[in-house]
Amino acid sequence: MKELAVRCLYSALVVVSWLATSARAESWCDAAPLPVLAALTQVDSGEDWFKIYVVADGVFAITEPRQAEGVNSFLIVGSRRAILFDSGLGVGRIGKVVSKLTPLPVTVLNSHTHFDHVGGNAEFADVRNLNIPYSLASSRGQVDPALAEYARPTLAEDRVCGPLPTEVTSREYKIPTWRISRYIEDNERIDLGSRTLEVLRTPGHTPDSMTLLDRARGLLFTGDTYYSNQIYLWAPGTDLGAYRASIDRLVALRPGLKALLPAHGAPTADPEQLVELQTALREIVAGSAPSTPAPQNRRVFRFEHFSILMAQPPETARAPK
């Protein structure tokens, strides 16, 4: 889940200029493509809704750039199996796209179970989540009212550029539901053949947030735990103390990392930004980070590569340090 417009823009500078001219009706649909995308090889998805980029050997970013969330799902292919890490909004048919990219059996894992990462889960038979109440409730479509309200206008005209896929006949967005086929656990290793992924629980953004590590290649799939844009720490279920501990866990991996692969906006980011985030959180909790008020009693903290939108007051009481 992410902010409507800000996360679809392409750098702090662009965000600033957009905010200055946000009265214009064309808004984010006309923004220039992310500079990082120009360096990536694009693969034809055959589906107008998705754009696909090769972000590493055997790794495809399946993006949905025409909806304001700017969500990225990742297909990670081994020699015997593949993982789909998140399944997007559920607006286009991601299963069709995936079957064009690989003939191998596909297992879906979710970076967390906010609606914009689980929308295509129901298209797959093998979907694995944590066995915790938050994930189980999400799979049944039982979502906190504040999140349901946030999701409701997902297909509104000001959140979608251009036409919806032909099979989508209503702008009423339905919260996804799906069947969990198996449970996964922290530190579980998944052998895809020629590639092993490690599941790392990194709660904070939600109780069920996790990151995927391809240790041999130095790739860390960060979900909404980190991306180079406005990070959401305001929603029901967010826990700042748990989030800080999770970022500490990821920073410890920094020496072996070559790239972060986040779930919104630019599909690749420099691992050094995790260190910047760790420092930023320390400053926020210490009260030394400047912030500005945001609607709905929230505050925005701005840093070089990202900003953080937080409930006011933040849940610092439970922060471990």
Residue 224 contacts Zn ion per CB under 5 A: yes
Query: Residue 225 CB, nearest distance to Zn ion (Å)?
Result: 9
- State which residue, 62 or 101, has the beta carbon closest to Zn ion: 62
Cβ contact 190:210 at 8 Å: no
Q: Which long-range contacts (CB under 8 A, 24 or more apart) does 209-216 make?
A: 209/111, 209/112, 209/246, 210/109, 210/111, 210/112, 210/130, 210/186, 211/111, 211/250, 212/76, 212/83, 212/85, 212/109, 212/111, 213/253, 214/76, 215/256
Cβ atoms < 10 Å from Cβ of 103? 8
DSSP calls for 19-54:
HHTTTSTTGGGGPPPPHHHHTSEEE--SSTT-EEEE
The site string for Zn ion over 105-144 (x = CB under 5 A, - otherwise) reads ---------x------------------------------
Count Cβ atoms within 10 A of the Cβ of residue 145 and give its class: 0-12 exposed, 13-18 middle, 19 or more buried: exposed
Cβ atoms < 10 Å from Cβ of 10? 22
Cβ atoms < 10 Å from Cβ of 258? 13
Number of chain residues interacting with Zn ion (CB under 5 A): 3
Residue 210 contacts Zn ion per CB under 5 A: no
Cβ contact 64:49 at 8 Å: yes
- State which residue, 58 or 265, has the beta carbon closest to Zn ion: 265
Query: Residue 112 CB, nearest distance to Zn ion (Å)?
Result: 6
Q: In what helix (H) or strand (E) does residue 275 lie, and over which residues does it extend?
A: helix 272-286
Query: Residue 114 CB, nearest distance to Zn ion (Å)?
Result: 4
Contact with Zn ion (CB under 5 A): which of 1, 5, 83, 220?
1
Integer Cα distance of 255 and 118 in angstroms: 31
- State which residue, 77 or 155, has the beta carbon closest to Zn ion: 155
Query: Residue 38 CB, nearest distance to Zn ion (Å)?
Result: 27
Closest CA to 176 of 233, 129, 217: 129
Query: Residue 226 CB, nearest distance to Zn ion (Å)?
Result: 12
Query: Residue 213 CB, nearest distance to Zn ion (Å)?
Result: 19
- State which residue, 82 or 311, has the beta carbon closest to Zn ion: 311
Q: Which two tokens stand for residue 22?
A: 């946000």
- State which residue, 66 or 114, has the beta carbon closest to Zn ion: 114
- State which residue, 7 or 114, has the beta carbon closest to Zn ion: 114
Amino acid code (one letter) for 315: E
- State which residue, 4 or 192, has the beta carbon closest to Zn ion: 4
- State which residue, 40 or 132, has the beta carbon closest to Zn ion: 132
Integer Cα distance of 312 and 56 in angstroms: 39
Q: Which stretch binds Zn ion (CB under 5 A): 20-28, 224-232, 247-255, 267-275?
A: 224-232
Q: Which stretch binds Zn ion (CB under 5 A): 11-19, 43-51, 92-100, 219-227?
A: 219-227
Residue 264 contacts Zn ion per CB under 5 A: no
Q: Which stretch binds Zn ion (CB under 5 A): 1-9, 91-99, 152-160, 305-313?
A: 1-9
- State which residue, 58 or 267, has the beta carbon closest to Zn ion: 267
Query: Residue 260 CB, nearest distance to Zn ion (Å)?
Result: 16
Q: What does the binding site for Zn ion look like in residue numbers (CB under 5 A)?
A: 1, 114, 224
